[in-house]
Structure 1
Amino acid sequence: MSENLNQQIEEVNDNINLIESNFNSRLDPIIDTVNQQTAAITELESIAETSAETTKRPLSENKRLADLLNKITEKCIDVEGRQRRQNLRIVGVQEGKEGNKDLRDFAADILKKVFNLDQKPLLDRAHRALRRPSASAPPRQLIVKVQYDLVLDDIMKKIAGNRNLLFEGDKISIFRDYPVEVARRRVLFSETRGILKKIQNLRYGLMYPAILRVTYKQKEHIFTDYKEALVFAQDIENLTDD
């Protein structure tokens, strides 16, 4: 009986070993697959980290280049503005009205007559805007460079006090010759200035290149962003309306 029992135990052990062997033979490929997938995931994570770093690098470089370009652009605008700081534009003078007279002398005559100056201002140069004249287009603007700062300042004060300028019966306009980008930025403040103009006990001025300074209730406010300036002006307008 003991021998039969031992034999049965051996048979059971053999079966267990057989089952374990079969299980292991089936499990090994699964383990290999899992190991391969784990290695693949690790590799992908490494690639992803490398890609992230590689992506950050050009983004950082692009930002640096954009900042540099912006600085260069602002510097160019500043240089152009300095070159034009003595310039005036005269708008509305008919083509050929100067006749045979030198254009610089003719432009000096305009400024003397329009602003009742004691004498003709000294001009370094004068020319028409570089656009092909056309019968259907408005007359080309006159661009003049005033030699002396004091004379230019006097003219600008007279312009501020009189917007209805006439020269030999023609309505004309005279304004500073700003760089195109500066002129564009200043125009953006037009709506805000229109609102501020209606508010009592408020002073404002648009400084070069495009900086709005507002003094209200003895407090000064400076704006370089036209949107922020507009919100500020609208808030004050609403308060004064109430």
Structure 2
Amino acid sequence: MSNSKQKPAPPLVPPTTRSTASIAGASNVEKQAVTETFQSVSMDQLISELTKQRISIREDISALIQESIGPLQSSVNALRETVGSFQSRLTAMESLAGENFEKVIAAENTIKTLQTQNTSLLDRIEDLENRSRRANLRIVNVPEGIENGQDLVTFVAEMLLEMTGTEVFDKPPSLERAHRSPGQKPADGRKPRPFVVCFHRFQEKERLLRWARRHDMKYKGNPVRVYQDLSATLSRKRSSYNGIKQSLSDVNLVNESFFLNESFSFT
């Protein structure tokens, strides 16, 4: 007993050291199996975590998109309502424009008809006016005031007889009316107003007019001219030919009596 020695206790080995020692003492096949198990568990966890992260990110992005699209969607809806309102108004305007276009066409046709009728009526009125003047003559260049308060019908009849002698009238012609052309009395030295004379007999007017075309007439030393009394419109039409008349007269093709002839008409 005394010679026997007490053996010291074995040292404590940490568990990890033991596991490592056990793995180290295991075969290569066992080592590979353990390693694959650890790797398998790690990949499954990683995939699971990535899947969770992907779902979380998708949800966050979807929420952000919805939050951003909200005001834009409201604006789009308001714009859609505005466009719809404009489209309705445009349709109404197109309908109204179509109706107005038809009315404008009808108005234009009516205006054209009225213009044609108006032109025809004006021509007829002018013809009637000139027909009503057929017994009238205009006596030009008789001095103002030479009648000296006499009755104009008597004065003009005697003046015509004095100017023509007995070649046209054997007595003073019968006149219905005689008066100066309407208007203010001209100042001294200005052109006198013409006489407008209406003959009772159309034949006497025609005899005087034909005679006056071939003779120079004077009264109290003043040259006097006699013309057919025409409407202002017809006078303007005839005056538009003055240049032609002057050109023909300059080359001695015609004289003024040709244009005053009853058979030559500008109407």
Task: Provide the TM-score with structure 2 as the length reference.
Answer: 0.57
| Higher fraction of strand | 1
| Contact 1:89–1:177, Cα closer than 8 Å, also in 2 | yes
Aligned to 2:245: 193
Query: Per-residue displacement from partner, 1:119-155 (whole Å, max 9, x unpaired)?
Result: 2342333433232324334322211112222222221
Aligned to 1:68: 117
Alignment of 1:73-88 (within 5 A): 73-88=122-137
Whole-Å separation in 2 of the counterparts to 1:199 and 1:205: 15
Displaced runs of 4+ in structure 1, greater than 4 A? 29-45, 198-210
Larger radius of gyration: 2
Whole-Å separation in 1 of the counterparts to 2:231 and 2:91: 58
Letter in 2 for 1:185: K
Question: Equivalent of 1:124, from 140, 151, 175?
Answer: 175
CA shift for structure 1 position 161: 1.9
TM-aligned CA distance change 1:48 to 1:208, over 3 Å:
farther
Letter in 2 for 1:152: K
- For structure 2, the residue ranges without an aligned partner over 5 or more in a row are 1-72
For the residue of structure 2 that corresponds to 1:192, the secondary structure is helix
Alignment of 1:130-209 (within 5 A): 130-136=182-188, 137-162=190-215, 164-198=216-250, 205=259
TM-aligned CA distance change 1:139 to 1:34, over 3 Å:
closer
CA shift for structure 1 position 166: 1.4
TM-aligned CA distance change 1:43 to 1:77, over 3 Å:
same
- For structure 1, the residue ranges without an aligned partner over 5 or more in a row are 1-24, 213-223, 225-242
For the residue of structure 2 that corresponds to 1:178, the secondary structure is coil
Identical residues among aligned pairs (%): 22
Whole-Å separation in 1 of the counterparts to 2:147 and 2:83: 93
CA shift for structure 1 position 167: 1.1
Query: Per-residue displacement from partner, 1:56-109 (whole Å, max 9, x unpaired)?
Result: 122222222223332332222222222211011111112332336432222122
Query: Per-residue displacement from partner, 1:182-223 (whole Å, max 9, x unpaired)?
Result: 2122211212222333457679647889944xxxxxxxxxxx
Letter in 2 for 1:55: V
For the residue of structure 2 that corresponds to 1:127, the secondary structure is strand
What is the count of residue pairs matched by the alignment? Answer: 211
Letter in 2 for 1:166: K
| Contact 1:111–1:117, Cα closer than 8 Å, also in 2 | no
Alignment of 1:71-110 (within 5 A): 71-99=120-148, 101-110=150-159
| Contact 1:121–1:146, Cα closer than 8 Å, also in 2 | no
Letter in 2 for 1:154: R
TM-aligned CA distance change 1:47 to 1:100, over 3 Å:
closer
Task: Provide the TM-score with structure 1 as the length reference.
Answer: 0.61
CA RMSD of aligned residues (A): 4.3
